[in-house]
Structure 1
């Protein structure tokens, strides 16, 4: 990996460009779940079609994250970021057209843009802040959670205020446009490229590899399935659309400070294995509490939201611990995110098949509890003493 070894902090416009880029890495996706019923009505689709729509960007995360090193090598990291933001801008603008087929194509563009940013943004942050990596990565994951909470919380108020889906969906046209403008105004830096190591097919024969993949994949499956379906679950329990959106926002918002405190939490409980056990139990209890209604549902949002922040950070820590070099880390990161996000994409879609529109959520909750349990078992195994590479 090569890049600029900055010794000074970047100018304020770069801070703004980085911040705006992070803020469009989850919100364009999480905004959909809060207005699910309006989307279903406007596009004249059923729950399975809605489930496919919400699964599509997560599947794109997995299918296209492997393109990040090649694009960076070809265009340079900063130009690749601009390309990704342009894809997100085009996709968010395309979603304003009330057509299911157009919505699918636009959503795919958003997913592709975010997929590449998922891999390259940590590299860009490391280049700009080489002396504060731990803090910056914690803030990075925290702001990703904040991005998701903006999408979940503000969708319903915008829909109510303007009476149209164009308002909550259009917010992300504005946000992505501002991110693009910020990068065009930022000072031009030297070309930054990323070079990865060679993929080893033998990795797929190792149980440890699949444990790492499931740690990444099940964490992603649970968060995106929750974002897509929690507002609908809460609505059937008697919550207003605004309250249901607030539940999703709480779920995402508490994950932000939790992710920053991951290292302290692991140290406090005596290691990654007990931490994974506690987080598995917390998420499982949170899911069950969703169905109790009232204040208990919001308690469940908190108990499920805290693990989301910590398990994402633990997945990053796990990949770093199981590799010996940056090239190995890039290989396993692309592999784990690639297969993991493809697996995660099935979560919202499967829930769409399981839910019959009758307000009965036991099959959906059972599916999610199985995913949480698989994450816990995989994390317990993966955080052993084994290494992925000899």
Structure 2
């Protein structure tokens, strides 16, 4: 009897995790296919529209570092429940019909996603430590598939009821997750997600290698979130129908999950990751150029862009572990990478919108975004080297004057 009960508890937990994963993508990305309608409704400039796309990323940068401390106080299950409530409120507020509500609701959605985005891997590590790879793969695929469905259905819903109602219907996703997650609220122990505290031995903000990893992540996140925010608008401006633009946008999101299925085993066999990092960044760059000069093949370019972006994000996260020697250094580098990476990602849609306002078209903005991906390839060649961060007390970080003083002191001791 107890085995059957445990089995149903496990099934309910897995179902809850996957439904939370749905909400890490759908409320944020499904707005992109209807951005032109929102722009017309409120008379927004492309720059203002870019800000709307960037707000969730700014919320990620602001609230991701706070997630673990909130979970330690209230318990991880209750915090995830609260995150779903915040996402639900944000979805409804965003559709309230005014410009301030549009932006305020978007900030709430980003805040809820930021909390859940950090806590879900910690929950999986705690409850599925022996099945981490399969569970992480499952929720990654769920995120990509849900994002694809959301982008594909939002246009037909908008054509039937208008964009405010269509976007408000997305609240069904967090509400369903809330219902399925209710049984987990019985477990609310105060969890230390990071395990035993371990002080970092590396001054990451002064480490060239840490900056190379951070810039690789940021320079590859920028093109991805540019595409997440602007791809349907770009395609519609090229004469592609809203329905097809939504489907292409869905393809972009679905293909981001594929690298997680095939790269993990491949990376373990490589001596270093330089070639892999450069290749996936250049794949992203070539797909952006393809969107400019061969938009009829948008589905193919979106698939390449999704794969290249997904692979580079996965590599960036992998570098955090590979380039550090202990848990303290890993946590310090992760905080740096996520903070700077999300801020750079937020700058992408804003920059593209401003460039579109200045140039009146998409060619120059997309070429500059492709150049950013090429820069990502160069940083990938550096971040992909088989080296690790040096200790803060390493002599390589010590100034010549201090080295001379140390040598003099050592000489005096000998005498």
Give the structure-1-normalised TM-score: 0.91
Q: Kindly tell me: are residues 190 and 84 of structure 1, through their superposed partners in 2, closer, same or farther at Cα, counting changes over 3 Å?
A: closer
Deviation per residue, 1:351-372 (Å, 9 max, x gap): 1101139762122112211221
- 1:41 is matched with 40
Q: CA deviation at 1:287?
A: 0.8
Q: CA deviation at 1:337?
A: 0.8
- 1:168 is matched with 166
Q: Distance in 1 between matches of 2:199 and 2:156?
A: 48
Q: Kindly tell me: are residues 86 and 388 of structure 1, through their superposed partners in 2, closer, same or farther at Cα, counting changes over 3 Å?
A: farther
Q: Distance in 2 between matches of 1:258 and 1:369?
A: 20
Q: Distance in 1 between matches of 2:389 and 2:111?
A: 28
Structure of greater relative contact order (alpha carbons < 8 Å, 6+ residues apart): 1
Q: CA deviation at 1:69?
A: 1.8
CA contact (8 A) 2:249 2:302 kept: yes
Give the structure-2-normalised TM-score: 0.86
Q: Kindly tell me: are residues 133 and 204 of structure 1, through their superposed partners in 2, closer, same or farther at Cα, counting changes over 3 Å?
A: same
Q: Distance in 2 between matches of 1:357 and 1:159?
A: 30
CA contact (8 A) 2:286 2:370 kept: no
Q: CA deviation at 1:281?
A: 2.1
Higher helix share: 2
Deviation per residue, 1:20-68 (Å, 9 max, x gap): 1000001111111111111111222121111111111111111111101
Q: Distance in 2 between matches of 1:253 and 1:110?
A: 21
Pick the structure with greater CA Rg. 2
- 1:388 is matched with 389
Q: Kindly tell me: are residues 352 and 197 of structure 1, through their superposed partners in 2, closer, same or farther at Cα, counting changes over 3 Å?
A: farther
- 1:12 is matched with 11
Aligned-residue Cα RMSD (Å) equals 2.3
Superposed counterparts of 1:231-380, under 5 Å: 231-266=232-267, 271-293=272-294, 295-356=296-357, 360-380=361-381
Deviation per residue, 1:268-326 (Å, 9 max, x gap): 77742111122122111111111234542222111111112212211221111122333
| Local SS of the residue matching 1:65 | helix
Q: Kindly tell me: are residues 8 and 384 of structure 1, through their superposed partners in 2, closer, same or farther at Cα, counting changes over 3 Å?
A: farther
| Local SS of the residue matching 1:356 | helix
Gaps of 5+ in 2: 1-5, 392-415
Q: CA deviation at 1:223?
A: 1.4
Q: Distance in 2 between matches of 1:264 and 1:286?
A: 25
Q: Kindly tell me: are residues 28 and 90 of structure 1, through their superposed partners in 2, closer, same or farther at Cα, counting changes over 3 Å?
A: same
Q: CA deviation at 1:150?
A: 2.7
Q: CA deviation at 1:374?
A: 2.4
**How many residue pairs were aligned?**
383
Q: CA deviation at 1:199?
A: 6.6
- 2:132 is matched with 133
| Local SS of the residue matching 1:45 | coil
- 1:104 is matched with 103
Q: Kindly tell me: are residues 302 and 67 of structure 1, through their superposed partners in 2, closer, same or farther at Cα, counting changes over 3 Å?
A: same
Q: Distance in 1 between matches of 2:237 and 2:358?
A: 9
| Local SS of the residue matching 1:11 | helix
- 1:148 is matched with 147
Gaps of 5+ in 1: 1-6
- 2:408 is matched with none
CA contact (8 A) 1:197 1:330 kept: no
- 1:219 is matched with 220
Q: Kindly tell me: are residues 110 and 152 of structure 1, through their superposed partners in 2, closer, same or farther at Cα, counting changes over 3 Å?
A: same
Q: Distance in 2 between matches of 1:99 and 1:48?
A: 18
Q: CA deviation at 1:215?
A: 2.4
Deviation per residue, 1:214-237 (Å, 9 max, x gap): 222223222111011111111111
